[in-house]
């Protein structure tokens, strides 16, 4: 893992060369203007507040091991933990008189997962929102723990390489694509988890690595090894490999096609902000639809 991280930093990390941070580029005419200017003196374009320059220091880590998540990653982690807490509470409440050893150890009952929006045959009845809600649900402590560990590491890397807005879109699109393939492969099966989105983040980094020459090729080789290990692990345990494949392929395509970094024009910046906002609305709307049917009998 340390070798992989060193390769990543040498490939996509910041350079030790010093840059002039007193000026920035106007998104309209591309001229260099003072960093704190509110209007471009060359074309008259109004300028937004200057973004903070990324630090060349290695991001902080919790206990020296877990990377401190960035803004969008933190929001996804918080939502995932909140949904797990709700599902565990519902599991315990539904069998309060006789707690099973599984629920005491953090296991979530299948009925609770189904009610909260797991991928299931109910999608055929028009409950498309399950393709979204299933991303944020997990079946137990080990399940959510492994996925959040990966997300803590991969999320900040994708956000740093692209942007927070692009990360939000990538995370949702890869997760939904993963469950779409899973539903096509096994329409009557039930599955949950963020692993489709997380494999999507690995795919994004693989796709982006094709634009970084020899060092990108070396880093890509390391990523592919981890993908192979994950799929081998999935052959021996109850893992939704179809969702993994769908998320990975979608992420790789996005990472290859979408330009890295913050957008250079105001129009493209507004477009990605709009797509990120739309993604958030879709996620919130999906959980609202789930809540509306929460008290109804399952068919």
d(CA 212, CA 218): 10
Share of the chain above pLDDT 90, in %: 44
Residue 144, number of CB atoms within 10 A of its CB: 25
Do residues 197 and 148 make contact, with C-beta atoms less than 8 angstroms apart? Answer: no
- Provide the pLDDT for residue 57: 38
Q: What are phi and psi of 23, to 5 degrees?
A: -130, 160
For 134-176, what is each residue's pLDDT tens digit?
999 999 898 899 899 889 888 988 998 899 999 999 999 999 9
Average per-residue pLDDT for the chain: 81
Helix (H, G, I), strand (E, B) or coil at 66: strand
Q: Is the pTM of this model over 0.95?
A: no
Residue 266 vs residues 56, 78, 261, 271: alpha-carbon distances, Å? 26, 30, 14, 9
Residues labelled as active-site residues: 195, 244
Instruction: Sketch out the chain's domains with CATH numbers.
Output: 69-292 (1.20.1540.10)
> What is the average per-residue pLDDT within 252-272?
89
Helix (H, G, I), strand (E, B) or coil at 23: strand
Residue 55, number of CB atoms within 10 A of its CB: 8
Instruction: Report the length, in residues, of the chain.
Output: 299
Do residues 118 and 130 make contact, with C-beta atoms less than 8 angstroms apart? Answer: yes
d(CA 45, CA 40): 5
């Amino acid at each position: 893992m340390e070798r992989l991280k060193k390769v990543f930093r040498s490939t996509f990390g910041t350079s030790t060369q010093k840059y002039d941070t007193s000026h920035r580029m106007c998104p309209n005419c591309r001229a260099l203007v003072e960093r704190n200017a509110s209007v471009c003196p060359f074309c008259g374009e109004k300028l937004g507040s200057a973004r903070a320059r990324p630090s060349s220091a290695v991001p902080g880590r919790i206990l020296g091991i877990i990377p401190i998540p960035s803004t969008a990653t933190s929001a996804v982690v918080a939502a995932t933990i909140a949904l797990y807490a709700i599902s565990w509470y519902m599991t315990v409440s539904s069998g309060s008189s006789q707690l099973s050893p599984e629920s005491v150890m953090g296991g979530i009952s299948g009925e609770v997962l189904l009610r909260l929006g797991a991928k299931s045959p109910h999608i055929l009845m028009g409950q498309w929102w399950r393709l979204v809600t299933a991303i944020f649900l997990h079946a137990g402590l080990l399940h959510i723990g492994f996925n959040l560990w990966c997300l803590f590491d991969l999320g900040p890397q994708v956000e740093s390489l692209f942007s927070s807005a692009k990360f939000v879109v990538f995370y949702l699109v890869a997760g939904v694509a993963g469950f779409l393939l899973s539903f096509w492969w096994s329409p009557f099966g039930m599955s949950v988890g963020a692993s489709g989105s997380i494999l999507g983040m690995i795919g994004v980094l693989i796709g982006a690595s094709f634009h970084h020459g020899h060092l990108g090729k070396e880093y890509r080789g390391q990523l592919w090894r981890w993908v192979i290990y994950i799929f081998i692990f999935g052959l021996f345990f109850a893992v939704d490999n179809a969702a993994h494949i769908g998320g990975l392929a979608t992420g790789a395509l996005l990472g290859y096609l979408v330009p890295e970094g913050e957008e250079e024009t105001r129009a493209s910046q507004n477009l990605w902000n709009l797509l990120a906002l739309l993604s958030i609305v879709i996620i919130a709307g999906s959980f609202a639809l789930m809540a509306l049917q929460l008290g109804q009998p399952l068919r």
